[in-house]
Amino acid sequence: MHWTVELPGADEYAIVTTSGTFSAADHLRMVEDIVSRPGWRPGTDVLFDHRGLSFDDADLRAMYEARGNHLANDARIGGGKAAVLVRSVSDYGRGRQFELLTADRISATLRVFIDPAEALDWLAGQTM
């Protein structure tokens, strides 16, 4: 799994773009990389563009492990919005698993999207 991180200016959102194959171990490395960067602020809104990431091997166990990664770093991640953009209906289902597993357990508000415009509108506060 590979990723790039673009941290925002004031009052904007970060963009994390991923590719390769999802693994919970790489997810933890990605989280650590993001929250350790100079300029990262807990509570920053983030667009996770996972359209280039394969979730084919990500089962429910992997989603539980990813939830654990988030829980372990919750204070460093903070209470911002996380829009998770995926490329297919099956990836959307896996993303929803993660969303439901983290609901009411993490500070951030997380939503999964297939449509990029909907994800950006949600981050901008234009939709619920």
Q: Which two tokens stand for residue 126?
A: 């234009």
| Rounded distance between C-alpha atoms, residue 96 and residue 100, angstroms | 6
Amino acid identity of residue 85, one-letter, is: L
Amino acid at 110: L
- Sheet of 14-21: strand order equals 2-6, 14-21, 46-54, 81-85, 109-113
Kindly list the structural domains of the chain, giving each domain's residue range(s) and its CATH number in brackets, ordered by start. 2-118 (3.30.750)
Provide the residue-wise pLDDT of the chain in tens; the chain has 128 residues.
999 999 987 668 999 999 999 999 999 999 999 999 999 999 999 999 999 999 998 999 999 999 999 999 999 999 999 999 999 999 999 999 999 999 999 999 999 999 999 999 999 887 65
Q: Are 23 and 1 in contact (CB under 8 A)?
A: yes
